[in-house]
Amino acid sequence: MFPKGTKRKFSDSGEEPVPSGEQGQPAPSAAARTLSSSYSLQRQSLLDMSLIKLQLCHMLVEPNLCRSVLIANTVRQIQEEMTQDGTWQIMTQALAAAQCPADRLVATEVLCRQTDMAAQAGQSPKPFSVVGLEEGYHSEEVVMDGDGDTEVTMSTLSTVSPQLSSASYLPGPFGMGPCWEEEEEEGECEEDEEEDSEECVSEGEEADRDHLTGDSRTGEQVFGTFEIKHPAPPPDPALEELFSDVDASYYDLDTVLTGMQSAPKMGPYDLLESLSSHGPTALSSSTSCRSDLNELDHIMEIIVGS
Amino acid sequence: AAVWLGYLLNSALSLFPADIISTVEFNYSGELLATGDKGGRVVIFQHEQESKNRPHLRGEYNVYSTFQSHEPEFDYLKSLEIEEKINKIRWLPQQNAAHFLLSTNDKTIKLWKISERDKRAEGYNLKDEDGRLRDPFRITSLRVPVLMPMDLMVEASPRRIFANAHTYHINSISVNSDHETYLSADDLRINLWHLEITDRSFNIVDIKPANMEELTEVITAAECHPHQCNVFVYSSSKGTIRLCDMRAAALCDRHSKFFEEPEDPSSRSFFSEIISSISDVKFSHSGRYMMTRDYLSVKVWDLNMENRPVETYQVHEYLRSKLCSLYENDCIFDKFECCWNGSDSAIMTGSYNNFFRMFDRNTRRDITLEASRESSKPRATLKPRKVSTGGKRKKDEISVDSLDFNKKILHTAWHPKDNVIAVAATNNLYIFQDKIN
């Protein structure tokens, strides 16, 4: 079993998430706050880095399972520590208050729908108890720090639905991406496939749009991904019907779309195969996928050269 | 420690990624050395007899056979490519004139037969020399075909293909001491095969959780015990090793022994688990010990003591303060291998900057050497290298920040009997030997 480490206290936390092995003396409160915010910044950047790594591994052809497991465990560790310190709830609350950009509505809608499903299903209480604000740490530190890192972090989380609680950040990276599910041979739940393909749509679409706008907010997709997956919510019959005729190759939409921007690992015949298998009937029945259809049409035009 | 002469074999063939060496393995006698690369090719080197004009050298290894073992495939069901990269090669003990080896990529294991042909039959009655059938009415006498010498031809032919047994990526294969069975391990399962049977295998370990979202640990390496055909070990990404006895049950999910070193709480960080992940596990030739490689160290375990290793060797402790950067550039996930020498008195493993390290278990001395073209001119003595950890850098030392993390030595092999080592540095293979008196 992996033992939990000693809990870090903000008053004597080290400068970096990588410790030198020393527990510092309790510093004056201002210095302690500086130290702790530096630590929390670094921890936050580590979290962002990890989530981006996980997201990127969805886009690879066949991810390295060991690497993904280790990254996901790291994320979970950070998440647990942040929950214990109360910063997790601060972050989600702050993001809930933040504005959602209009051009992210599609993704948000998809995210929210999933959230509603979970809410309807009556999700079990959060696994961690959200600790209140602790002494020496205030939300202003996170928001108003003026550090570029923090601000980027806040905006990357802007698509978080206000209804989301920290329960949605449950460790679920292995159910969410096409990678894990595709590893299954038999017995793969249809609802898992649907959720994956749904989120691949938003992922891929976001990736495509992100690249086109030149704004690399991959962290957004990543957190979006985390938002979507809950531990086995019951299948929404509307969604099931929507995705009933989507086959496995639909998973590759995000791979396809991102593959188009960078050197694609799949050949052009794969691209055509993936795209042509998406019947317009499946997509057009959902408003949230209408823009996806436009994207697909656009891509098809490019490929076919019409 | 022996003074190492170095000579370079196989100087830079090309810089294409396909040539990156992905596995290195001596056969049981050490006469043959096999390498697998990212392009699915296997190259076998053979030890030449000592040459008369250079008697102080043991003799070079020259290319003996080259063949394409695996081709890239496409899994249509999952719309995923299957890489042709050779993950592991394991030799079978030699039983006749031919040599056999197992090579595997992510999904398929193949048994290859490598045989020599140095004679050709001539003088057939029914066929011409070029193979055309002779007109029967022209045959007036009967002759016995004669075997004529021909240029040595080494043929590699696939004798068995063991496919469709692994959902996840195969990381290890290991031939059992009974010489009839072997195991193959992927991230979540271990299968036992019979060398003659390709259409089925026994699943002996399965750590896949019912809900994949609960997955927190994967299998990283597995090996059969060198003498006890019922015993094998497998390591995990959480730094644990499980020893299993196949006599206990059909499914060896319950281990017989569980090896784990308790974590040092003072050195705990977010990267603790990642650097504890074991990248390689190797039994000693004696079968009494096993060695594990994690990111920063090599540990020797006594099979009779589960709670901690008996020896720990730091490979590159100076990287501990750089873990965040190494996480960012993914180097922290590099899987280094390790190996024993023939007498189990020394161990070797690789590092960055084309450095590799050797530890003498008896004298506790260690040495860092570099596998590079500059430092391995023929008959040149390898110069020990040192990484400066303190503030002041001595002459000839290299600072941590100037290490090249793209030059990593992941694969090394030690001759089963002699002090000859093979070191794979990206797409170059270096063979070093020590001085003969």
Q: What is the per-residue pLDDT for A108?
A: 35
Kindly identify which residue of chain B lies nearest to residue A77, measuring between CA atoms.
Answer: B270
Task: Give the DSSP letter string of B17-40.
Answer: GGG-EEEEEE-SSSSEEEEEETTS
The least confident of A246-255, B85-94, B243-252 is: A246-255
The least confident of A228-232, B262-266, B295-299 is: A228-232
For an interface test with B, the pick among A16, A69, A179, A226 (most B C-beta atoms closer than 10 Å) comes out as A69
Where are the domains positioned within chain A? 34-96
B321 to A18: CB separation less than 8 angstroms, yes or no: yes
Q: What is the per-residue pLDDT for A5?
A: 52
Kindly identify which residue of chain A lies nearest to residue B328, measuring between CA atoms.
Answer: A49
Q: What is the per-residue pLDDT for A293?
A: 66
Q: How confident is the model over A179-187, as a mean pLDDT? A: 40
Q: What is the per-residue pLDDT for A88?
A: 79
Cα–Cα distance between A6 and B201 in angstroms, integer?
A: 45
A29-49 confidence digits (pLDDT tens)? 555 555 578 888 889 999 999
Cα–Cα distance between A271 and A165 in angstroms, integer?
A: 38
Which is more confident, B431 or B301? Answer: B301
Q: What is the per-residue pLDDT for B187?
A: 97
> A198: closest CA among A174, A178, A212?
A178
In this structure, what are the phi and psi dihedrals at residue B112, rounded to the nearest 5 degrees? -110, 140
For chain B positions 146-205, those within 8 Å of chain A (CB to CB) are 167-169, 187-188
Which is more confident, B5 or A196? Answer: B5
Q: How confident is the model at residue A155 (pLDDT cuts 50, 70, 90)?
A: very low
Q: What is the per-residue pLDDT for A172?
A: 41
Q: How confident is the model at residue A56 (pLDDT cuts 50, 70, 90)?
A: confident
Angstrom CA distances, B255 to A162, B175, B204, B283, B318, stand at 47, 20, 11, 17, 35
What percentage of residues in chain B have a pLDDT greater than 70?
A: 92
- Block residue for tokens 């978080």: A160
A70 to B333: CB separation less than 8 angstroms, yes or no: yes
Q: How confident is the model at residue B380 (pLDDT cuts 50, 70, 90)?
A: low
Q: How confident is the model over B234-251, as a mean pLDDT? A: 94
The least confident of A54-58, A100-104, A135-139, B233-237 is: A135-139
Kindly identify which residue of chain B lies nearest to residue A63, measuring between CA atoms.
Answer: B169
Q: How confident is the model at residue B428 (pLDDT cuts 50, 70, 90)?
A: confident
Q: In this model, does residue A17 exceed pLDDT 90? A: no
Q: What is the per-residue pLDDT for A303?
A: 66
Contact A51, A75 (CB under 8 A): yes
Q: In this model, does residue A223 exceed pLDDT 70? A: no
A251 to B79: CB separation less than 8 angstroms, yes or no: yes
- Rounded to the nearest angstrom, the minimum Cα separation between B37 and chain A is 18
In terms of Cβ atoms closer than 10 Å to its own Cβ (0-12, 13-18, 19+), residue A144 is exposed
Residue B10 has, within 13 A of its CA and on its CB side, a CA count of 29
B79 to A49: CB separation less than 8 angstroms, yes or no: no
Q: What is the mean pLDDT of chain A?
A: 51
A-chain CB neighbours of B214 within 8 Å are: 171, 174
Q: How confident is the model at residue A238 (pLDDT cuts 50, 70, 90)?
A: low
- For residue B82, give both structure tokens: 């299957």
Task: Kindly list the structural domains of chain B, giving each domain's residue range(s) and its CATH number in brackets, ordered by start.
Answer: 4-434 (2.130.10.10)
Q: What is the per-residue pLDDT for B54?
A: 62
B137 interfaces chain A, CB cutoff of 8 Å? no
Q: Which of B79, B213, B220 sits opposite A274 (nearest CB)?
A: B79
Q: What is the per-residue pLDDT for A270?
A: 40
Q: In this model, does residue A99 exceed pLDDT 60? A: no
Q: How confident is the model over B100-105, as a mean pLDDT? A: 98
Angle of CA points A281, A284, A289, to nearest 5°: 130
DSSP H helical segments within B26-173, as ranges? none
Give the 3-state secondary structure of residue B397. strand
Kindly identify which residue of chain B lies nearest to residue A6, measuring between CA atoms.
Answer: B265
B257-286 confidence digits (pLDDT tens)? 999 999 988 889 999 999 999 999 999 999
Q: What is the per-residue pLDDT for A181?
A: 39
A63-89 confidence digits (pLDDT tens)? 789 999 999 999 999 999 998 888 778
Q: In this model, does residue B31 exceed pLDDT 60? A: yes
A-chain CB neighbours of B187 within 8 Å are: 65-66
A-chain CB neighbours of B80 within 8 Å are: 61-62, 182
The least confident of A63-72, A75-84, B15-24, B157-166 is: B15-24
Q: How confident is the model at residue B243 (pLDDT cuts 50, 70, 90)?
A: very high
Q: How confident is the model at residue A141 (pLDDT cuts 50, 70, 90)?
A: very low
A-chain CB neighbours of B79 within 8 Å are: 182, 248-249, 251-252, 266, 270, 273-274
Q: How confident is the model over B97-112, as a mean pLDDT? A: 97
The least confident of A280-284, B201-205, B429-433 is: A280-284
DSSP label at residue B431:
E
Compute the count of residue pairs across chains A and B with CB atoms less than 8 Å apart. 120
Q: How confident is the model over B321-350, as a mean pLDDT? A: 96
- Rounded to the nearest angstrom, the minimum Cα separation between B80 and chain A is 6
Q: What is the mean pLDDT of chain B?
A: 90
Which is more confident, A110 or A98? Answer: A98
A-chain CB neighbours of B263 within 8 Å are: 3, 5
Most confident of A73-82, A291-300, B235-244: B235-244
Q: How confident is the model over B136-149, as a mean pLDDT? A: 90
B-chain CB neighbours of A266 within 8 Å are: 79, 81
A200-220 confidence digits (pLDDT tens)? 334 434 434 433 333 334 333
B-chain CB neighbours of A232 within 8 Å are: 211
Q: What is the per-residue pLDDT for B106?
A: 96
Kindly identify which residue of chain B lies nearest to residue A81, measuring between CA atoms.
Answer: B270
B-chain CB neighbours of A46 within 8 Å are: 270, 324, 327
